[in-house]
């Protein structure tokens, strides 16, 4: 399979014009291209003013790209762009907010995450399955395994990392880059640290992707063995943006046991497979409920569905996490349960998950 050159892709994009005769590349710049499994992924850098004008041209442009050899499908996404400018002085106290209200930030200088050895995504096909709780406890558990760990909250619309990690202050700015906050032995960053938690993040795709790009490229993560990325639920622009910007070593898929959740988990696994990202395995969250009074076990959502699904799809099964009130209480209190109650069934399950993933991280060169 021969990947088309950026020059050839640009030639085709210039043939798609709007009613005024302008082409897409009159209002955007070709950012990145990638051909995987017959699907050509094209990222165009633009600004908020031009994004609406370009949007109506995308279907015709994607159709035109099918004329390229070996291209059976095409997908164009809009990424953030802002002309380079002198950095604004930091406000008193050294804090610098993310550039909210515009779809991007300053262009990254050099490769993104040059000192991060491994990047792992924690994902789910749908919301409400405990993905963020799993990501936080996995990251802290990896730190307890002796690894240097960072945790990025990539769920722009619903950031929960600050509350779960007990972080409240905004990040400091050092030499024009944000410094991640440190808690429970790991470094963490979330857009929730930069906005009021009551503020609704009513952003379209280009702004979301721009914010994600800043959280990756404008943060001084330093030397890390692994960066755990808490992905937004579903299969959309954020997942593709992350796969284009960094080399993902693998993904952990979180699901609950019932069939409805597993349907969406399959889509998540299929998405990562299409992006050539290894699936490290599936986790069954809310696997069973333990009565806090008598200890009786009840399978509220069924049991074993994720294990059976993992076996059917040929991916590893990484373990069962029980449904316990302590998990909720520890998250609300800002102390992950692997720290607050390590001997509990949930604490032990998350530690076992972290131990398994840590072995994988150490094998990655």
Hunting for tokens 């607050």 — which residue is that?
Answer: 340
Q: List binding-site positions.
A: 125-132
Tell me if residue 142 falls in helix, strand or coil. helix
Distance (Å, whole) CA 292 – CA 305: 24
**Which contacts qualify for 62-69: CB closer than 8 Å, 24 or more apart?**
64/12, 64/13, 64/15, 64/16, 65/9, 65/12, 65/13, 65/40, 67/12, 68/4, 68/8, 68/9, 68/12, 68/40, 69/2, 69/4
Q: At what angle do helices 325-333 and 131-144 cross, to 10 degrees?
A: 80
- C-alpha distances in Å from residue 146, one per residue of 113, 224, 359: 20, 11, 11
Distance (Å, whole) CA 187 – CA 227: 9
Distance (Å, whole) CA 115 – CA 299: 43
Q: List binding-site positions for ATP.
A: 125-132
Instruction: Classify strands 250-255 and 279-284 as parallel, antiparallel or unpaired.
Output: parallel
Tell me if residue 279 falls in helix, strand or coil. strand
Structure token pair of residue 345: 């069934």
Distance (Å, whole) CA 138 – CA 161: 13
């Amino acid at each position: 399979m021969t990947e088309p050159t950026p020059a050839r892709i640009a030639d085709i994009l210039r043939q798609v014009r709007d009613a005024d005769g302008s082409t897409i590349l009159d209002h955007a710049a070709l950012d990145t291209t990638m051909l995987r499994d017959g699907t050509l992924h094209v990222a165009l850098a633009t600004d908020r003013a031009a994004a609406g004008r370009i949007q109506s041209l995308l279907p015709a442009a994607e159709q035109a790209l099918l004329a390229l050899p070996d291209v059976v499908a095409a997908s164009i996404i809009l990424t953030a762009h802002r002309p380079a400018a002198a950095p604004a002085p930091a406000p008193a106290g050294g804090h610098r907010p993310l550039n909210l209200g515009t779809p991007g930030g300053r262009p990254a200088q050099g490769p993104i995450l040059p000192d991060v050895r491994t990047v792992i995504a924690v994902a789910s096909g749908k919301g409400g399955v405990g993905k963020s709780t799993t990501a936080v406890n996995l990251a802290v558990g990896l730190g307890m395994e002796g690894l240097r760990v960072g945790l990025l909250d990539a769920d722009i619309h619903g950031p929960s990392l600050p509350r779960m990690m007990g972080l409240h202050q905004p990040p400091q700015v050092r030499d024009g880059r944000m410094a991640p906050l440190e808690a429970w032995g790991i470094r963490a960053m979330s857009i929730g640290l930069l906005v009021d938690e009551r503020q609704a993040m009513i952003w379209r795709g280009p702004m979301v992707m721009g914010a994600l790009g800043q959280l990756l490229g404008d943060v001084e993560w330093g030397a890390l063995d692994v960066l755990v990325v808490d992905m937004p639920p579903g299969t959309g622009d954020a997942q593709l943006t992350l796969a284009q910007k960094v080399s993902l070593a693998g993904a952990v898929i979180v699901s609950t046991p019932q069939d409805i959740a597993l349907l969406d988990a399959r889509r998540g696994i299929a998405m990562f497979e299409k992006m050539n990202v290894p699936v490290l395995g599936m986790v069954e969250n809310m696997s069973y409920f333990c009565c806090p009074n008598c200890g009786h076990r009840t399978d509220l959502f069924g049991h074993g569905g994720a294990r059976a699904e993992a076996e059917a799809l040929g991916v590893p099964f990484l373990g069962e996490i029980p449904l316990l009130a302590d998990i909720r209480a520890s998250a609300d209190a800002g102390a992950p349960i692997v720290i607050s109650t390590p001997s509990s069934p949930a604490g032990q399950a998350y530690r076992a998950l972290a131990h398994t993933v840590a072995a994988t991280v150490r094998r990655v060169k």
